[in-house]
Structure 1
Amino acid sequence: MLDTLLASLSGSLFFKKLLGTVLILVIGVLVIRIIMKLISAALEKSHLEKAAHSLITSLAQAAMYILLFLIAASQMGIDVSSIVALASVLTLALSLALQNMVSNLIGGFVILYTHPFHSGDYVEIAGQGGTVKEITMTYTVLATFDNRIISIPNSAVSAAQIVNYSSAETRRVDLTVSASYDAPTQKVIDALVLAGTVDNALLDPAPRAVIKEYGDSAIGYNLWVWVKPEDYWGVYFQVNQRIKDIFDQQGIEMTYPHLNVHLDQIKKAGGQ
């Protein structure tokens, strides 16, 4: 009789723990879903890159589910301290095994926090130039001018020198041209300014040409044309072509390095 009563009490206690655990899990899942919706709404209003949204939501969701699992295990009478210790050891082992991936993840956090560039910017990273196509948590993907796709590890990106050509509202096209010493300098300067005056060139500041240097066989000139970043390459190629056409129209010679050799006849002794 006593054994039956103790077994009944023990079964009732286990049932209560099980029922409490189920309630905790159900309520916990509902609370997590509500919190995730709030986090997603907050991220949509933020200025973070889209790549950060999925990472933050995934980490937050994983952390909350782990916490819910520990609470449920504690409700069932399981010693969670041993679970936490085992998880710590496994985390350390994984971090050592996946060291490169962890460093890339950290680099991704640095990029998303510091905002050195955004998707769509034209950048140069460690000598590689291209338009930022995508920023993931492990790689930054660039699309080059000839449509090559370059994936650079975020650990290398965060440690490299980054040149962002799209961060400013304007960008300057720099062209170097040489012209003959026979051409009047002001005529050459006026011709270069005319060549730089194209549709997508900005008028403030206006195109400007200056003398750069006096070379051995030609005078070097610089032409500066300010444009919007998205118009850079179109203006660059258009102005390059116009320079040659306008020089030909105005009779300005574009010289190239050359060497004049003078042969003097040496008379031999005796009048020969």
Structure 2
Amino acid sequence: MEQNIQDLLEKAPELLATYGIKVALAIAVYIVGKWIANLIANLLLKGLTARKVDLTICTFTRNIVYYALFTMVIIAALGQLGIQTASFVAIIGAAGLAIGFALQGSLANFASGVLLILFRPFKIGDFVEAGGTAGVVREISIFSTILTTGDNKTVIVSNSGIMGGNITNYSTQPERRVDFTVGVGYGANLDLVRKELEAIASEDTRILQEKGITIGVAELADSSVNFAFRVWVNSADYWAVFFDTNEKIKKRFDSVGIEIPFPQMDVHLSKEG
């Protein structure tokens, strides 16, 4: 017993020198690595905040980056102690893969939410068509976007559904073109039709005359001659001008005797011997 203790005491300096250095290196790796991880995460947070990214996404992203780097620091520190870390890496990788498969829908929505806020294809208050629905944007969250439709229904659309398709933003441009297709009968006086459409456009102060007015024969259809009638308005006046102009066209054409045809079929019966 005494011999064993004596042998241990004799080897103590050697063991202390060997393992003391490893412990010191492991502690140094841990302290420095944790400081670097925290520094990188905070720099990322400042960068996202400077770009006015949503605070929830900033904090969430910062925490993900920090804990990912901190995990790497722990593995590096354990490696300095001589512990085989390959198994730890394999376990962490397998766990990450399993979590990724389980949460792939949520992760896709989160990534799409980050892209929506970074690239800003629309903002709160815009009227958009996206994700199979149309409405005013009320809220952009991490995983979904909330729209209010024209009939005041609330629609919650997943962010991945929005980013995976086309986004039409009707609010970005200050001016919009209103397109009408005006069908008249083949017996109508085309010059008179043009004159009446010009009068309708010139009398409406909401129509931007300086942007030009387009009136032309667009199609010789089966039952009508179709005019393309296009005017420019401020975006806020779009629907008001659209509805009012359709009504004016009908009333004005009726007053001057211009026929607006409707689809019909003539059936001829013949009597055989």
Which TM-score band applies after superposition, normalised by the shorter structure? 0.5 to 0.7
Offset of 1:137 from its aligned partner?
A: 2.0
User: Equivalents in 2 of 1:53, 1:201: separation in Å?
Assistant: 44
Is residue 2:224 matched to residue 1:218? yes
2:45 and 2:58 in contact (8 A); partners too: yes
Counterpart of 1:251 in structure 2 is 257
Given the superposition, is the C-alpha separation of residues 99 and 260 from structure 1 closer, same or farther in structure 2, using an over 3 Å criterion? Answer: closer
SS for the counterpart of 2:231 is strand
Is residue 2:139 matched to residue 1:134? yes
Offset of 1:38 from its aligned partner?
A: 8.6
- AA matched with 1:211: V
Counterpart of 2:99 in structure 1 is 94
Counterpart of 2:123 in structure 1 is 119
Given the superposition, is the C-alpha separation of residues 262 and 99 from structure 1 closer, same or farther in structure 2, using an over 3 Å criterion? Answer: closer
Gaps of 5+ in 1: 1-31, 74-78
Given the superposition, is the C-alpha separation of residues 147 and 178 from structure 1 closer, same or farther in structure 2, using an over 3 Å criterion? Answer: same
User: Equivalents in 2 of 1:179, 1:50: separation in Å?
Assistant: 57
2:122 and 2:169 in contact (8 A); partners too: no
Offset of 1:161 from its aligned partner?
A: 2.3
Counterpart of 1:172 in structure 2 is 177
1:205 pairs with one of 211, 214, 219: 211
Offset of 1:60 from its aligned partner?
A: 6.4
Offset of 1:42 from its aligned partner?
A: 6.0
Given the superposition, is the C-alpha separation of residues 109 and 42 from structure 1 closer, same or farther in structure 2, using an over 3 Å criterion? Answer: closer
Q: How many correspondences in the alignment?
A: 261
Moved more, 187-196 or 46-55: 46-55
Offset of 1:176 from its aligned partner?
A: 1.0
Output the TM-score relative to the length of structure 2: 0.65
- AA matched with 1:201: I
Given the superposition, is the C-alpha separation of residues 41 and 239 from structure 1 closer, same or farther in structure 2, using an over 3 Å criterion? Answer: farther
Moved more, 233-242 or 34-43: 34-43
Counterpart of 1:231 in structure 2 is 237
User: Equivalents in 2 of 1:189, 1:237: separation in Å?
Assistant: 20
Q: Identity of paired residues, percent?
A: 29
Output the TM-score relative to the length of structure 1: 0.66
Is residue 2:156 matched to residue 1:146? no
SS for the counterpart of 1:173 is strand
Offset of 1:153 from its aligned partner?
A: 1.9
Q: Deviations over 1:94-130 (max 9, x none)?
A: 22221211122222233334x2621243222254222
Offset of 1:178 from its aligned partner?
A: 0.9
User: Equivalents in 2 of 1:244, 1:216: separation in Å?
Assistant: 20
Q: Deviations over 1:114-169 (max 9, x none)?
A: x2621243222254222222222212222222222222222222221222333334
User: Equivalents in 2 of 1:234, 1:58: separation in Å?
Assistant: 49
Offset of 1:84 from its aligned partner?
A: 7.6
1:188 pairs with one of 183, 189, 193: 193
2:122 and 2:128 in contact (8 A); partners too: no
